[in-house]
A and B are shown apart, each in its own frame.
Chain A
Amino acid sequence: MPDGANDMNANVPVLDVRNLKKHFPVRKGLLRKVAGHVYAVDGVSFSIARGQTLGLVGESGCGKSTVARAVIRLIEPTSGEVRILGRDILSLSKDELRESRRQAQIIFQDPFSSLNPRMSAGEIVGEPLLVHGIGNKKEREERVAALFDRVGLRASQMGSLPHQFSGGQRQRIGIARALALDPQLIIGDEPVSALDVSIQAQVINLLMDLQAEKNLSYLFIAHDLAVVEHISHRVAVMYLGRVVEHAETRALFSSPQHPYTEALLSAVPVPNPRLKRQKRLVQGDVPSPINPPPGCHFHTRCPYATEQCKVEVPPLVEVAPDHWAACHLRKPLVAVV
């Protein structure tokens, strides 16, 4: 339940990211001189409203996890602005940051390495409460039992160790841990990518139920579009550290504006074989983010690439109402200054 204070700024986005950059230095040689940078995230902007899900999609290595970690300052962004519930996260001191962490939690991809193998499931889920000094031992235990129940685990399993659970169950433990502090925002860094397809659906449904119940906002990361279609209100497609297309989910799926999105969509398996979309997978490999291609990052693989694409970076512009794309082929709705 959002409390009164939060109701007042109902229009403030839960997460607002402006021009986020993270460049990792690449060090070489004995003296560990900086020889270059990995442009893991290179100017990403988006915002997520209360109760909404933004699906963030892109191939492996395009910088999705880096975005996830940078927005909650698990790594320090190189530059940019991140606001959670209107609060500038990047300017917080260490102590303020620790306190503010209650508002945003993260769920990881790997259901095995995301839980400490030496702690019982109950300890894992209760740990955030312990860290923030919430309740006494008995109250915490009750809260953990309630969380177990909520994510579809039996409270009797609280004493079991992580390895005694299946992958899907472990992901539920991770979700319960993320819920413990009653956050407004949950970042899922490919939370279902490691699961069997049938279990993926269960976990996505659980996340959607929780969202409806608690009015949560999600940044939901996946490497393929099919996974985010069901859960996302909006979708942003990333390529080599940049957002190349961003739109409301239905618009993005029905009329993709960027050649990369088009290619990703043609790779989505279609259930009805008679409606098989024209097969056109993305050719070639993702170029290295250490020396990304100049101009449009996608030009090395784009079937429509022109000379202009090789030199000029296409800006992300509104090409249809509330539909943004970064491609020279698309003309902006309103001329950009």
Chain B
Amino acid sequence: MSPPPSESAASTIGGHSESGPAANVSFDAELARAGANVNSRWGMALFLAKRYPLGGVGLAIVTLFILVAVFAPLITGHDPLATNPSISLAKPAAAHLMGTDFMGRDLFSRVIYGARTSLAVAFGATLLGVVFGVLIGLASGYLGGWVDLTTQRVIDMLQALPTLILAMAMAAALGPSLTNTIIAIAIPKLPSIARVIRASTLSLREMPFVEAARAMGMSEMRIALRHILPNTLAPLIVLATAGLGSAILVEASLSFLGLGVPEPHPSWGRMLSESAAEYVRTAPWLVIFPGLAITFAVFGTNLLGDALRDILDPRQRTSN
């Protein structure tokens, strides 16, 4: 897919105009605002970054976290799991940039490796939630009837519970492990994703281009995959990115409560719970750095999610 060449876009819009020359005055400005003169991928990226600066910041933060998670061993020389009682609770210094915890583990490397856990859980849960949410939503909206009725009732029940409570219940039931944490966080995501997909499926199902596909003899399955699903992508991407931040937060909360990712994976939430009560006065860095990591990760993903929503799905925009 290549972006429209500016000329054809201009003539298209010009062709529609019925209001005469007066309406043409701001055309160029409007087209530029709408990105009509952008004609390369990089041009598009630059245009979007200019139009949505906060989204650019969010993207930068998220990219940074991904890079940190991927290249963690290259960033820090310390083993995040190696204990050394002799330097327990060392202050931040050149050797240990963020100090050490009560077992003498290097906090910097634990925060860096914590990004791995955090992102693995956030992306894993989002992916899982999206795959199953989409399947449920598509089936519900497309098949209708009793399939729709039953799933709607189950979804209502799931949605009646707050995300964290539901995730806690799931995590407690499944037992602590990385996979179970991912599942526990994915389940509360299902209702909202299934809802959005169902709603757009319901409206898309009646679209003339879907009727045209049916009229040419296309099977319902193929219609769902070729004509319905691709057109639900925009709200789906919006919802998925918007959910990344909350997934990170829920993981931290679960781990804080001891229901989340178990040892030996370093988790920001657990780092907080290990040190919050006892050391917050004597060794505040143990709380500050993991806390900052959580804050920035959530902040970045939320900024990105908001910008993506504005770009892909302007109807969801709240007035501001």
Tell whether A167 pairs with B16 under 8 Å between CB atoms, given A108-B208, A160-B8.
yes
Q: Which of B2, B11, B212, B231 contacts A108 (CB 8 A)?
A: B212
Separation of A108 and B8 alpha carbons in the complex (Å): 24
Tell whether A101 pairs with B208 under 8 Å between CB atoms, given A116-B231, A164-B12, A166-B16.
no
Separation of A128 and B217 alpha carbons in the complex (Å): 8
Taken residue by residue from 90 to 110, chain A's Cβ proximity to chain B (1 for < 8 Å, 0 otherwise) reads as 000000011101101110111
In the bound complex, do residue A131 and residue B208 qualify as a contact, i.e. CB atoms below 8 Å apart? no
**Shortest CB distance A185–B (Å):** 11
In the bound complex, do residue B209 and residue A114 qualify as a contact, i.e. CB atoms below 8 Å apart? yes
Residue on B nearest A116 in the bound complex, by CB: B209
Q: Which of B2, B212, B218 contacts A106 (CB 8 A)?
A: B212
Q: Is A74 positioned at the interface, with any CB of B under 8 Å from its CB? A: yes
Q: Which of B211, B213, B231 contacts A127 (CB 8 A)?
A: B213
Tell whether A166 pairs with B217 under 8 Å between CB atoms, given A114-B212, A118-B230.
no
Q: Is B1 positioned at the interface, with any CB of A under 8 Å from its CB? A: yes
When A and B form their complex, what is the total count of cross-chain residue pairs whose Cβ atoms lie within 8 Å? 75
Residues of A within 8 A of B11 (CB): 166
In the bound complex, do residue B217 and residue A131 qualify as a contact, i.e. CB atoms below 8 Å apart? yes
Q: Which of B12, B209, B213 contacts A165 (CB 8 A)?
A: B12
Q: Is B227 positioned at the interface, with any CB of A under 8 Å from its CB? A: yes
**Shortest CB distance B44–A (Å):** 14
Q: Is A208 positioned at the interface, with any CB of B under 8 Å from its CB? A: no
Q: Is B18 positioned at the interface, with any CB of A under 8 Å from its CB? A: yes
Q: Is B9 positioned at the interface, with any CB of A under 8 Å from its CB? A: yes
Residue on A nearest B15 in the bound complex, by CB: A166
Separation of A181 and B218 alpha carbons in the complex (Å): 13
Q: Is A37 positioned at the interface, with any CB of B under 8 Å from its CB? A: no
Residue on B nearest A187 in the bound complex, by CB: B215
Residues of B within 8 A of A127 (CB): 213, 216, 218
Residue on A nearest B8 in the bound complex, by CB: A164
Residues of B within 8 A of A135 (CB): none
Residue on B nearest A111 in the bound complex, by CB: B208
Residues of B within 8 A of A110 (CB): 208
Separation of A101 and B223 alpha carbons in the complex (Å): 15
In the bound complex, do residue B8 and residue A115 qualify as a contact, i.e. CB atoms below 8 Å apart? no
**Shortest CB distance A117–B (Å):** 7
Separation of A36 and B207 alpha carbons in the complex (Å): 26
Most buried by B among A72, A105, A113: A113
Residues of A within 8 A of B217 (CB): 97-99, 101-102, 128, 131-132
Q: Is B26 positioned at the interface, with any CB of A under 8 Å from its CB? A: no
Q: Is A214 positioned at the interface, with any CB of B under 8 Å from its CB? A: no
Separation of A252 and B317 alpha carbons in the complex (Å): 53
Residues of B within 8 A of A167 (CB): 15-16
Q: Is A69 positioned at the interface, with any CB of B under 8 Å from its CB? A: yes
Residues of A within 8 A of B2 (CB): 159
Q: Which of A69, A117, A164, A181 contacts B231 (CB 8 A)?
A: A117
In the bound complex, do residue A196 and residue B12 qualify as a contact, i.e. CB atoms below 8 Å apart? no
Residues of B within 8 A of A128 (CB): 216-217
Q: Is B214 positioned at the interface, with any CB of A under 8 Å from its CB? A: yes
Q: Which of A114, A116, A166, A181 contacts B12 (CB 8 A)?
A: A166
In the bound complex, do residue B208 and residue A113 qualify as a contact, i.e. CB atoms below 8 Å apart? yes
Q: Which of A114, A131, A168 contacts B218 (CB 8 A)?
A: A131
In the bound complex, do residue B8 and residue A181 qualify as a contact, i.e. CB atoms below 8 Å apart? no
Separation of A74 and B231 alpha carbons in the complex (Å): 21
Interfacial residues of chain B within 1-29, with CB under 8 A of chain A in the complex: 1-2, 4, 8-9, 11-12, 15-16, 18
In the bound complex, do residue B209 and residue A113 qualify as a contact, i.e. CB atoms below 8 Å apart? yes
Residue on A nearest B207 in the bound complex, by CB: A113
Q: Is A150 positioned at the interface, with any CB of B under 8 Å from its CB? A: no
Taken residue by residue from 138 to 154, chain A's Cβ proximity to chain B (1 for < 8 Å, 0 otherwise) reads as 00000000000000000
Taken residue by residue from 112 to 138, chain A's Cβ proximity to chain B (1 for < 8 Å, 0 otherwise) reads as 011111100000000110011000000
Separation of A128 and B18 alpha carbons in the complex (Å): 35
Q: Is A163 positioned at the interface, with any CB of B under 8 Å from its CB? A: yes
Q: Is A161 positioned at the interface, with any CB of B under 8 Å from its CB? A: yes
Separation of A164 and B6 alpha carbons in the complex (Å): 10
In the bound complex, do residue B18 and residue A196 qualify as a contact, i.e. CB atoms below 8 Å apart? yes
Separation of A26 and B305 alpha carbons in the complex (Å): 41
Taken residue by residue from 255 to 283, chain B's Cβ proximity to chain A (1 for < 8 Å, 0 otherwise) reads as 00000000000000000000000000000
Residues of B within 8 A of A109 (CB): 208
Residues of B within 8 A of A160 (CB): 4, 8
In the bound complex, do residue B216 and residue A74 qualify as a contact, i.e. CB atoms below 8 Å apart? no
The 8 closest A-B pairs by CB, nearest first: A101-B217, A114-B208, A166-B15, A108-B208, A98-B217, A128-B216, A116-B209, A118-B230
Q: List 22 A-B contacts (CB under 8 A).
A: A74-B211, A97-B217, A101-B216, A104-B215, A105-B215, A106-B211, A109-B208, A113-B209, A114-B212, A116-B230, A127-B213, A131-B216, A164-B4, A164-B9, A165-B12, A166-B11, A166-B15, A168-B15, A174-B212, A177-B212, A181-B216, A196-B18
Residues on B close to A: CB < 8 A? 1-2, 4, 8-9, 11-12, 15-16, 18, 207-209, 211-219, 222, 227, 230-231
Known: A105-B216, A106-B215. 16 other contacts (CB 8 A): A102-B217, A106-B211, A108-B208, A108-B211, A109-B208, A110-B208, A113-B207, A113-B209, A118-B231, A127-B218, A128-B216, A131-B213, A131-B216, A132-B216, A165-B12, A166-B16
Residues on A close to B: CB < 8 A? 69, 72, 74, 97-99, 101-102, 104-106, 108-110, 113-118, 127-128, 131-132, 159-161, 163-168, 174, 177, 180-181, 196
